């Protein structure tokens, strides 16, 4: 019973029933009109037939008088059919015809009328009605011509019965159909609900059933499944990050603790203690740095920074970072060059893009060799902002892994860094609707940030990118914010 109640409560059932109601109402109205029209037409035909008969008989009366008319009526009255005839004498006595009984006074009124009657010798047939016309002839003779209405009424009855029967069938079938549709919808929904419950209960591998029919439920299920996939990916990443965070924070924390403990235990000279304290601060700073990088990445990935974006020329980012790192590169004996295409515009955050490129340059200077190039080129609807080095590169199979958060390839464990550089660059690229990929620089590694272009190049000129001549820096007083 509750199962049936559930069916009745479904939207599909309610929709089907209301559609059925509308359809039935329309059918009743239009069929009712048809019946009414048919009835009207038959009535007209009846009047017409009676009038024709009256005209014919009147002609005979005019030519042959009452006796001629009487014999003609007798002849016609004997023929089978629905026509009625009656000829009465001035005293009201019937002379000829097939009408047995009429209501009193029916013959007194002239003209057309609908009256109950009984056929001569027809027994007591109750409720027979006829459309009649009474004509007063000369000398008090009266003639009645009529037509039985039973046929008409039967026709209308048959029509109405057929229509009502049809409608009943339609309503029954409609209700059954509605229940069927509701049941199917309910079955799909119950399946989805059950799957959702299972997923909520912790079965994260579970997915909503997809029948492959491509209907709206399939689309909903597919979208929901995609969402579940994303959630699972995020959760897996989160778990991995948590593990990595635990590792990356516990290692320096342990070092920090060791240093402090060692200083306490040895109880050495003041200078030793001072050195130990300085190392403690150093380790704490490294920890803070790791935290900051993690926070920034978290912020970048939630998209909270998106509102700080503005149109900018990535070449400016490339040149800005090159300018910042040029002395460091020179000190390391590595030429740092910029190969930037002009006139590209992307929607972005200068600071984050700068930090991403700075991270890549930092990596290139630490792990690469020979030369470092910051490049910018247009590739279809994307701007490719890349940093290439001539170092050992990363084997193709390790590249995707290298971008993952905190991952530092085994051989680079000895060099300092939080291990966040590439993953932060990736977070920044994603935030800008782009990607970070690692490519072969042949030889060396090339890290490419692909960013979607904001407008067609050349339409928006950001500003002259020519460096101001030496000794003519930006206007004075730009100190501060």
Partner 1 sequence: MRILIVEDDPEAATYLVKALGEAGHVADHAADGEDGLAMAEQVVYDVMVVDRMLPKLDGLAMVGRLRAAGNKTPALILSALGQVDDRVAGLRAGGDDYLAKPYAFTELLARIEALARRITPGVAETVYRVGELALDRLSHIVERGGQRIPLQPREFRLLEYLMRHAGQVVTRTMLLENVWDYHFDPQTNVIDVHVSRLRAKIDKGFDRPLLHTVRGAGYMIRDGAA
Q: Which positions from 346 through 385 interact with partner 1, judged by CB under 8 A?
A: 349, 351-352, 354-355, 358-359, 362, 365
* Shortest separation between residue 320's beta carbon and partner 1, angstroms: 7
Instruction: Give helix 2-9 / helix 11-78 axis angle, nearest 10°.
Output: 80
Chosen residue from 79, 307, 381, 414 binding partner 1 by CB under 8 A: 307
Nearest-angstrom CA–CA distance, 96 and 78? 10
* Shortest separation between residue 359's beta carbon and partner 1, angstroms: 8
Chosen residue from 256, 305, 345, 436 binding partner 1 by CB under 8 A: 305
**Residue 308 lies near partner 1 (rule: CB under 8 A):** yes
Beta strands 336-340 and 372-379, pairing class: parallel
Chosen residue from 261, 285, 339, 379 binding partner 1 by CB under 8 A: 285
Residue 144: strand pairing partners: 86, 134
Per-residue x/- mask for partner 1, residues 230 to 269, rule CB under 8 A? ----------------------------------------
Token output for 116: 């109950």
In order, the DSSP letters of 85-118 are: EEEE-TTS-EEEESEEE--TTTTTS-EEEEEE-E
Q: Which stretch binds partner 1 (CB under 8 A): 114-122, 188-196, 225-233, 468-476?
A: 468-476
Token output for 10: 């479904």
Residues 6+ apart with CB under 8 A from 412: 366, 367
Under 8 Å between Cβ of 127 and 150: no
Nearest-angstrom CA–CA distance, 121 and 143? 20
The DSSP call for residue 410 is G
Length of the chain: 481
Per-residue x/- mask for partner 1, residues 314 to 353, rule CB under 8 A? ------x--xxx-xx--x-----------------x-xx-
Closest to 421 measured CA to CA, from 434, 437, 404: 404
Q: What SS3 class is residue 361? A: helix
Chosen residue from 1, 205, 269, 468 binding partner 1 by CB under 8 A: 468
Per-residue x/- mask for partner 1, residues 44 to 83, rule CB under 8 A? ----------------------------------------
**Count of residues in contact with partner 1, rule CB under 8 A:** 46
Q: Where does this chain bind partner 1 (CB under 8 A)?
A: 278, 281, 284-285, 288-289, 292, 295-296, 299, 304-305, 307-308, 320, 323-325, 327-328, 331, 349, 351-352, 354-355, 358-359, 362, 365, 417-418, 421, 467-468, 470-474, 476-481
């Amino acid at each position: 019973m509750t199962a049936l109640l559930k069916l009745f409560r479904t939207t599909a059932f309610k929709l089907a029933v209301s559609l059925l109601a509308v359809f039935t109402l329309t059918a009743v109205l239009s069929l009712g009109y048809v019946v009414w029209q048919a009835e009207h037409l038959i009535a007209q035909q009846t009047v017409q037939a009676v009038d024709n008969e009256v005209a014919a008989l009147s002609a005979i009366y005019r030519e042959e008088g009452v006796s001629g008319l009487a014999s003609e009526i007798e002849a016609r009255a004997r023929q089978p059919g629905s026509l009625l005839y009656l000829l009465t004498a001035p005293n009201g006595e019937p002379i000829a015809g097939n009408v047995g009984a009429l209501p009193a006074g029916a013959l007194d009124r002239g003209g057309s009328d609908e009256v109950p009657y009984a056929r001569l010798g027809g027994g007591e047939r109750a409720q027979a009605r006829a459309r009649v016309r009474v004509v007063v002839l000369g000398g008090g003779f009266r003639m009645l011509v009529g037509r039985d209405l039973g046929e008409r009424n039967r026709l209308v009855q048959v029509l109405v019965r057929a229509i009502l029967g049809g409608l009943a069938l339609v309503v029954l079938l409609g209700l059954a159909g509605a229940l069927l549709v509701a049941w199917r919808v309910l079955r799909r929904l119950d399946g989805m609900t059950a799957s959702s419950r299972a997923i909520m209960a912790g079965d994260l591998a579970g997915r909503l059933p997809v029948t492959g029919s491509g209907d709206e439920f399939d689309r909903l299920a597919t979208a929901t499944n995609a969402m579940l996939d994303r959630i699972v990916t995020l959760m897996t990443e989160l778990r991995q990050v948590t593990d990595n965070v635990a590792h990356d924070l516990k290692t320096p924390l342990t070092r920090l603790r060791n240093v402090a403990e060692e200083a306490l235990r040895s109880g050495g000279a003041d200078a030793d203690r001072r050195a130990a304290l300085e190392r403690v601060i150093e380790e704490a700073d490294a920890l803070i740095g790791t935290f900051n990088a993690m926070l920034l990445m978290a912020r970048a990935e939630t998209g909270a920074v998106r509102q700080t974006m503005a149109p900018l020329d990535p070449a400016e980012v490339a040149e800005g970072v090159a300018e910042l790192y040029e002395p460091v590169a020179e000190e390391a004996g590595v030429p740092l060059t910029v190969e930037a295409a002009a006139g590209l515009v992307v929607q972005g955050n200068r600071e984050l893009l700068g930090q991403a490129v700075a991270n890549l340059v930092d990596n290139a200077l630490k792990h690469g060799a020979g030369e470092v190039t910051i490049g910018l080129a247009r590739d279809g609807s994307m701007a490719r902002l890349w940093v290439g080095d001539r170092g050992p590169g990363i084997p193709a199979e390790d590249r995707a892994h290298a971008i993952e958060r905190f991952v530092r390839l085994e051989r680079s464990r000895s060099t300092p860094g939080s291990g966040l550089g590439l993953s932060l660059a990736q977070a920044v690229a994603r935030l800008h609707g782009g990607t970070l990929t690692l490519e072969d620089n042949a030889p060396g590694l090339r890290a490419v940030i692909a960013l979607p272009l904001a407008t067609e190049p050349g339409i928006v000129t950001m500003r002259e990118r020519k460096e101001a001549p030496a000794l003519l820096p930006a206007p004075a007083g730009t100190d501060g914010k």
